[in-house]
Amino acid sequence: MALLAASAATQAAAIAAQAGEAPEAVAAGHPHVTNPYAPAYHHPYRGGAVPTRGTAARMASWARQHPGAVTASPGAVTASPGGVQAASANNVRYGGGNDGIGVSTGDERVYLVFFGSQWGTQGANANGDVTLSGDPSGEAPYLQEMFKGLGTGGEQWSGVMTQYCQGVSVGAQTCPATAPHTAYPHGGPLAGVWVDESVPSPAQANGARLAQEAIDAATHFGNTTAADNRDASYVILSPTGTNPDGFNTPNGQFCAWHDWNGDSQLTGGAVTSPDGDIAFTNMPYVTDAGVNCGANFINSGSNRNLQGVSIVAGHEYAETITDQNPAGGWLDLGGEENADKCAWKNPGTTGGIAFLTLPTGTFAMQGTWANNANSGTGGCRFTQTIKPTELLGNPGFETGQLTPWVATAGVLKKKSSSFPVHAGAWLVRLGGRTAPHTDTLAQTVTVAPTDGRYGAATFSFWLEIKTNDPASKASDTLTVQVLDASGTVVQQTLHVYSNQNAVGHYVQHSFSLNSFLGQTIVLKFTGAQTLAGHSTSFFIDDTALNAS
């Protein structure tokens, strides 16, 4: 949706007056919306709303007539002093997180919630999908197959989103390798299906009711802690003939939107969750809107009536994982999320709507915005090489604490002339003592996603060695090992370094851990000082365990 930012309330009021509308009361933490045709105008909780095709055309026309409307970034994404300066005015940039959450950093888990007794009698098809007698278009099995297929077969549509991260400066447009990135949905994100027929779905459920249904779903699936829901999202699917939040009415010219339970601007207000923050999507019965929400958009292939369902669902999924608690994730200066910027692009254009072939079927999908396209000036992309998932916690020690690493006391060091870093401000030093001593550094990690299986995993770290030991003998050593989950049985010694390997600068070392795929292991460094009167310092920085 075109969320166009105004530089001041007076400008917003003047522009709105030209359109014959009252100026909008802007919610704290939400982008300013000045385009009177945008679904989020007067409805700031409609994060990443897919406008209907007719509405999108009116929004574009209004934007062309009011080019001065985009003059400043929304409050949620304004670069703070000392923050990363904009590399491109068109790119999305990091909003700083909302309740500590920016993007989905673990393997995403999508739960499909069919809300209301109108969905009818349950059955199952040959693929094991839930089918429903109140689903005349067949949206339920179609979406199940789509979410089963994403993240499988090496598909690269999901790769575009893996360039985004959290833990960077507000306003940043790029992510260092050590930042927690949006994860690739290994093995498929579909985590569960629930048909909640305990009550009828309201004729026009408000935002709070949809959020409550998402909370109820989290409890139903046993996701009862904040950690359980950190990378989960709940797609609330309303039955045909209903109009959740005004869908398919003059006041709701959208196809879907997403938000989280804690948004005070939801119609009905924020909803308290006992299960932590809950991300959810308002997914109406999209085929009720026909071509206005994408039916037969490509005008070829099978399931033409369902093309809009996958286009819209993919749009909201791509935005949820890069802006999980709106608007703390990635948005542009006008408040548009990554999928908004590429919505309803014609087939055959760069990043336009096209068919995505998955092991589970072929689905119409749209491209999404990639900051790294066009030499960093950005653009819409349909696919991108998959970015590996970082499995280690605190890999560069940049939290200023060791957790979740376990180590001997005193090994965490802040950058100084005595303690050189590879990057950032923190490192670990093992050794460096003039008497016999042993230091250790270890982390337990599972080399597997929540569902499915990685195809490869590589462990790496940067190491600098400083020593005054005699070069004639390997007196002090650093042993790098893989242990079993208990941390007591050595599975493999990856390498042993010594004072004789000192070269005066950092060197990166990498090891394949493919033989440990699917296992929980302990990665351990052991620094041993054996020569009295001399010392060797093993400086370790920017570790990584990348899986793909």
286-325 pLDDT, tens digit each: 999 999 999 999 988 888 999 999 999 999 999 999 999 9
Residue 271 is predicted with a pLDDT of 98
Q: What is the pLDDT of residues 98-139, one digit of tens each?
A: 999 999 988 799 999 999 999 999 999 999 999 999 999 999
Residue 450 is predicted with a pLDDT of 58
* pLDDT higher at 69 or 218: 218
Query: What rounded mean pLDDT belongs to the chain?
Result: 89
Q: Mean pLDDT throughout 535-545? A: 95
Residue 452 is predicted with a pLDDT of 57
- Confidence band, pLDDT 50/70/90 cuts, at residue 453: low
Residue 130 is predicted with a pLDDT of 98
Q: Residue 24 pLDDT more than 90?
A: no
Q: Mean pLDDT throughout 267-280? A: 97
Q: Mean pLDDT throughout 402-429? A: 96
Residue 179 is predicted with a pLDDT of 86
Residue 20 is predicted with a pLDDT of 38
Cα separation, 189 vs 97, in Å, equals: 22
SS (H, E, C) 132-157: ECCCCCCHHHHHHHHHHHCCCCCCCC
Residue 3 is predicted with a pLDDT of 33
Q: Residue 18 pLDDT more than 60?
A: no
Q: Is the peptide bond before 404 cis (omega within 30 degrees of 0)?
A: yes
Percentage of the chain lying above the pLDDT 90 cut: 78
Phi, psi of 307 (to 5 degrees): -55, -40
Cα separation, 491 vs 521, in Å, equals: 9
Q: Which residues contact 56 (CB under 8 A, 6 or more apart)?
A: 2, 343, 344
Q: 3-state SS of the chain: helix, strand, coil percent to 5?
A: 20, 25, 55
Residue 548 is predicted with a pLDDT of 75
Calculated CA dihedral for residues 223, 117, 290, 248, nearest 10 degrees: -80
Q: Residue 83 pLDDT more than 50?
A: no
Q: Mean pLDDT throughout 396-409? A: 96
Residue 8 is predicted with a pLDDT of 29
Residue 157 is predicted with a pLDDT of 98
Q: What is the DSSP letter of 260?
A: E
* pLDDT higher at 413 or 86: 413
Cα separation, 396 vs 73, in Å, equals: 31
Q: What is the pLDDT of residues 164-173, one digit of tens each?
A: 999 999 999 9
Judge contact between 124 and 246, C-beta under 8 A.
no
Residue 403 is predicted with a pLDDT of 97
- Confidence band, pLDDT 50/70/90 cuts, at residue 365: very high
Q: Mean pLDDT throughout 6-16? A: 31
Judge contact between 18 and 231, C-beta under 8 A.
no
SS (H, E, C) 460-502: EEEEEEEECCCCCCCCCEEEEEEECCCCCCEEEEEEEEEHHHC
Rounded to the nearest angstrom, the gap between the alpha carbon of residue 131 and the centroid of all alpha carbons in its chain is 29
Instruction: Provide the strand spans (E) within 416-456.
Output: 426-431, 437-446
Give me the architecture of the 406-547 domain, per CATH. Answer: Sandwich (2.60)
Residue 285 is predicted with a pLDDT of 98
Q: Residue 427 pLDDT more than 70?
A: yes
Closest among 318, 256, 332 to 288, alpha carbons compared: 256
Residue 82 is predicted with a pLDDT of 36
- The domain segmentation of the chain, as residue ranges, is 9-387, 406-547
Q: Mean pLDDT throughout 42-65? A: 94
Q: Residue 455 pLDDT more than 90?
A: no
Phi, psi of 141 (to 5 degrees): -65, -30
Cα separation, 182 vs 176, in Å, equals: 13
Judge contact between 366 and 311, C-beta under 8 A.
yes
The 10 Å Cβ neighbour count of residue 25 is 9
* pLDDT higher at 311 or 35: 311
Q: Which of 319-328, 359-368, 453-462 has the lowest mean pLDDT?
A: 453-462
